[in-house]
Amino acid sequence: MARRSPLRHALQLALLAGCSALHAQQSPPQEKPKTALPPVTVSGTSSEPVEKSYRKMVQGMDYFERARAAVAPGASLRFKLLPRKPGTDMDHIVLEVIGTTFDYRVPIAPDHTFVLERNAKALQENAVVSPNRRRLSMTWRTEIRTPGLPANTRRLGDLRLECMVGLEADLVSNNGPIGRIADLFTDKKRYCERAEARYLYFADRPLFSVTLVNGARREVLPIDQLYAMASDDPGLKSDLPYCDCEVLVDRTYFLPLGDRSWPDDTRVEFEYMDDRP
């Protein structure tokens, strides 16, 4: 039987979960010494910031506003920063919106989430949203949550919208060659409607189990939907540098986003490794 090769696995992860290592691989020769440096986090302004397009992120916010009534009517949108490399200092990040004639700081909550305010000048000047961290040291996601849910649960509609807004805001492509190919070959939002979509989610803590619950129907996700498919890839360790899940593998999971037999109100229940039995 044919097996999924580590390379293809890496490419899947790369496209669908925000790999940007290939972008680094494709960097001009003069940038190579920088990418060869050890993966340490630098406090203060970095010469290789992990930055995102303000316009793209606002595009994601616009998409959220258009779609939420149907998918997640009670939810709110935040963006989230996550570590990508070991030792990344996540507690002292300075996040700024930087245009050509201005810059201003964006407050980050203790859980590393933030809200992006709408700013006409930032749009006009095609500003960037820039944390003071080295490229590849962090990754980004959306955080869309309906308030009032029981502990250790999420709502499937919120998570479906996270995929769509995340792709619309370009949080997972890093604008490398992979992202451009994705633009050519896929409709990003339709991708989130695929039953086998491989959009990587990160739970709050290391996972032991994820269960979908809708009324009396309960289904536990198979192990290949957890841990970035590690169960099917003994070579995952060597693939990890290509994945933005590198230091969060034990928190990752996929969802059957396009399986409409699970309505948006489906509860996603998490059992964590450190939960008491």
Partner 1 sequence: MNPVPVHRVPFIAALAACLCMAGCAGVDMFGPPPDGRGAVRTPDGRPLPPQAAMDTIAIGKSSKADVLSALGQAIAIPFDSGYEVWVYRWPGADKTPRTASELVVLFDPSGTASKLRLRPGYAPRD
User: Which residue(s) pair with 95 in the sheet?
Assistant: 106, 131
Burial class (CB in 10 A: 0-12, 13-18, 19+), 81: buried
Interface with partner 1: number of residues (CB under 8 A): 44
DSSP string, 11-36: HHHHHHHT--HHHHHTS-GGGHHHHT
Closer CB to partner 1, 3 or 105, in the complex: 3
CB of 69 to partner 1, least distance (A): 29
Q: Which is nearer to partner 1, 125 or 259 (CB)?
A: 259
Task: Indicate which single residue of 162, 170, 250, 264 sits in contact with partner 1 (rule: CB under 8 A).
Answer: 250
Return the closest-CA partner of residue 209 out of 227, 197, 230.
227
What Å distances lie between residue 43 and 109, 113, 213, CA to CA? 18, 19, 43
Q: Binding to partner 1 by residue 1, rule CB under 8 A?
A: yes
Among 17, 19, 21, 22, binds partner 1 (CB under 8 A): 22
Does 208 contact partner 1 by CB under 8 A? yes
Check binding of 245 to partner 1 (CB under 8 A).
no
Q: Does 39 bind partner 1 (CB under 8 A)?
A: no
Q: Which of 2, 36, 69, 120 binds partner 1 (CB under 8 A)?
A: 2
Q: At what angle do helices 156-168 and 54-71 cross, to 10 degrees?
A: 150
- 73 part of the interface to partner 1, by CB under 8 A: no
Minimal distance, residue 254 CB to partner 1, in Å: 11
Give me the helices (H) in the chain, please.
6-17, 21-25, 32-35, 54-71, 120-124, 156-168, 177-185, 188-191, 236-239
3-state DSSP call for residue 191?
Answer: helix
In angstroms, the CA 142 to CA 131 distance is 16
Beta carbon nearer to partner 1, 39 or 113: 39
Range in contact with partner 1 (rule: CB under 8 A) among 35-43, 126-134, 159-167, 227-235: 227-235
> Distances from the Cα of 10 to the Cαs of 18, 90, 125, in angstroms?
11, 26, 36
Select from 63-71, 109-117, 182-190, 262-270 the region that touches partner 1 (CB under 8 A).
182-190
Q: How many residues does the chain have?
A: 277
Q: Which is nearer to partner 1, 102 or 208 (CB)?
A: 208
Interaction site with partner 1 (CB under 8 A) = 1-4, 7-8, 11-12, 15, 22, 26, 86, 177-178, 180-186, 195-196, 206, 208-209, 219-220, 222-225, 227, 230-232, 234, 247, 249-250, 259, 271, 273, 277
